[in-house]
Amino acid sequence: ETGVTQSPTHLIKTRGQQVTLRCSSQSGHNTVSWYQQALGQGPQFIFQYYREEENGRGNFPPRFSGLQFPNYSSELNVNALELDDSALYLCASSLFAGQGTDTQYFGPGTRLTVL
């Protein structure tokens, strides 16, 4: 069974640039959630994707957007990068089967640094 993988591992960008982060979900999972973890803090929910549509969003501006593909992999896109976007971005996959008792399994994260 393959776990959740993310790429790249590390990324350095400058203010105003755009970035795309990628996530492959665990085998058998159909839902992907993205979280932002700033240094010294707990992860914060960005949004969740199911059946290639956004289902649930946290308190993040529209310049944070995403995609989910037919194979359940996902991308997180951030436009007009700001210094405060520097963080560890975590992807989590889960199996939604019509109940709320799903469990999210996390990837290793992508460390984004904005200069």
Binding site for another protein (CB under 8 A): 4, 6, 31, 33, 35, 41-45, 48, 50-51, 55-56, 58, 90, 92, 94, 96, 100-109, 111
Identity of the residue, 22 or 105, whose beta carbon is nearer to another protein in the bound complex: 105
Identity of the residue, 16 or 56, whose beta carbon is nearer to another protein in the bound complex: 56
Rg (CA), the chain: 13
Report in angstroms how near the CB of residue 31 gets to another protein at its nearest.
5
The backbone torsions φ and ψ at residue 10, rounded to the nearest 5 degrees and listed phi first, read -135, 155
Report in angstroms how near the CB of residue 50 gets to another protein at its nearest.
3
Identity of the residue, 16 or 54, whose beta carbon is nearer to another protein in the bound complex: 54
Report in angstroms how near the CB of residue 2 gets to another protein at its nearest.
14
Could you tell me how far CA 99 lies from the centroid of its own chain? Answer: 22
Report in angstroms how near the CB of residue 4 gets to another protein at its nearest.
8
Burial label, 25 (beta-carbon count in 10 A; 0-12, 13-18, 19+):
buried
Identity of the residue, 66 or 107, whose beta carbon is nearer to another protein in the bound complex: 107
User: Which tokens hold the place of 45?
Assistant: 């929910």
Burial label, 16 (beta-carbon count in 10 A; 0-12, 13-18, 19+):
exposed
